[in-house]
Structure 1
Amino acid sequence: MRKRMRDTPNRDRPRERLAARGPEVLTDAELLALLLGRGTKGRDVWQVVGDVERCLKRTEGCPSYDELLGIDGVGSAKACEIMACFELGRRYFGDDGVSGHRIASPVDVLPFVAEWRDRKQEYFICITLNGAGEKIARRIVTVGILNQSLVHPREVFSEAITDRAASVILIHNHPSGTLEPSAQDLAITRQLVEAGSILGIRVLDHIIVTKSGYASLKELGHL
């Protein structure tokens, strides 16, 4: 049976071992003990760690907030810290087969809309993104002439809400071949930015694409 943390010599405690030798030498239990910090009244930290470990094995990954909160000794703050650590690890070290494609610039968007760049009708497309700026989904919102009555915030953001998206990128093609944003393009963008702000979903960019190139309304200073 493992000693209680307060009965463990300082040199053998997880924090001191990590400082002296690095995180690689720590067991999963010791890493969790560092995250939890301490136990609760009547429960040593190692007892809480054991419950968290069993929960991790049962869920084969990061448990939900409610699952962590159901563990005696894990409060809201600790549940959030554990989930935040998992998410940071996934964002920085997750392999491409699991994590989404991160979109950091308009150029990153182009592969997802290549098939619409030379269409003879205007397609309005919405890409939803998570908090890491990774693509969740790509959807066609409207096909045809672009105007404010057809591109309604309801149509743009209903799926984004379902995706639990943190932000969206809007794209539409110009069959005319011109990359100059029209007054209508700018009006639609303003309307959707305002709607997104109310919903807590940022409009990161609105990109116009043609066969020959693209124009980012953000880069042009319209967002």
Structure 2
Amino acid sequence: MSNAHLLAIILRTGGRDKSAIGLARELLLHFGTLQELDGAASAEFSDIKGMGPAKTAQLKAAFELGRRLLRSGHETSAKNPFFKNSREVFEYYRPLFYGLKKERFLCALLDTKNRIFKENIVSEGTLTSSPVHPREVFRDAIKEAAASVLFVHNHPSGDPSPSRDDIDITKRLVETGNVVGIKVLDHLIISDGKYLSLMEKGYMS
């Protein structure tokens, strides 16, 4: 079933001179992608004939329900997961970061067998307005005697390319980890169904 048909089912009816499927196609044409449609403010729907407050609320509720379903999948997934590569890390954390409109920086603590046993949200906002301080990142890792750590954060922009701040912060965290004896395994940036591993790109050496 196409995206337009799924949207039409949610909308149920169209406008005065268009069907539900016609309205759904107009929405996709206007916003371009489902991601842009999801992120649109309620006021932006007023440009589309047939999209009143009720239909806008229906769409918003459907997208929010989808986000909650994805995040619940992360919460109920296997405990103490073990990852063989960055793709597996991405697939595990993707639901947790899906649809977030602001940056979130997560630190995962791992044991000597490279299994995650605890996760901490270190910062929310942006990495520049809500700085990630090494002491805050490693405080719990030291307390919990973590053997290594893994960092994951998102880019709401849709582009997982690292900023200069991302690279500088990662290097500072790697240096701090070397000092306290806790290895930084990787730092993943997740964005719009894509990811980038700073370790694989050589930014952590």
Which TM bucket (shorter chain)?
0.5 to 0.7
1:194 aligns with 2:175: yes
SS of aligned partner of 1:101 = coil
1:205 aligns with 2:190: no
Is the CA contact (8 Å cut-off) linking 2:159 and 2:192 kept in structure 1? no
> 1:104: which partner in 2?
84
Alignment CA distance shift 1:149-1:100 (3 Å): closer
Question: How many Å separate the matches in 1 of 2:135 and 2:99?
Answer: 27
SS of aligned partner of 2:162 = coil
> 2:156: which partner in 1?
175
Alignment CA distance shift 1:220-1:148 (3 Å): farther
Q: Tell me, which stretches of 5 or more residues in structure 1 are unaligned? A: 1-96
RMSD: 2.0
1:128 aligns with 2:109: yes
What amino acid maps onto 1:118 in structure 2?
Answer: G
> 2:195: which partner in 1?
214
Asked which structure has the greater CA Rg, the reply is 1
- Which protein has greater RCO, CA pairs closer than 8 Å, 6+ apart? 2
Question: How many Å separate the matches in 1 of 2:161 and 2:80?
Answer: 31
| More off after superposition, 135-144 vs 106-115 | 106-115
SS of aligned partner of 2:84 = coil
1:152 aligns with 2:152: no
Question: What pairs with 1:81-100 in structure 2 (closer than 5 Å)?
Answer: 100=80
Q: TM-score, normalised by structure 1?
A: 0.53
Is the CA contact (8 Å cut-off) linking 1:104 and 1:133 kept in structure 2? no
Shift of 1:107: 2.0
Once the two structures are superposed, residues 150-202 of structure 1 have per-residue CA deviations (whole angstroms, 9 ceiling, x without a partner) of: 20011100111122111101111001010111111000001100111000001
1:164 aligns with 2:141: no
Is the CA contact (8 Å cut-off) linking 2:124 and 2:130 kept in structure 1? no
> 2:51: which partner in 1?
none
Question: What pairs with 1:2-151 in structure 2 (closer than 5 Å)?
Answer: 100-110=80-90, 111-147=92-128, 150-151=131-132
Is the CA contact (8 Å cut-off) linking 2:110 and 2:118 kept in structure 1? yes
Alignment CA distance shift 1:130-1:103 (3 Å): same
Aligned residue-pair number: 127
Question: How many Å separate the matches in 1 of 2:94 and 2:193?
Answer: 13
SS of aligned partner of 2:80 = coil
Q: Tell me, which stretches of 5 or more residues in structure 2 are unaligned? A: 1-77
Give percent identity, aligned residues only: 40
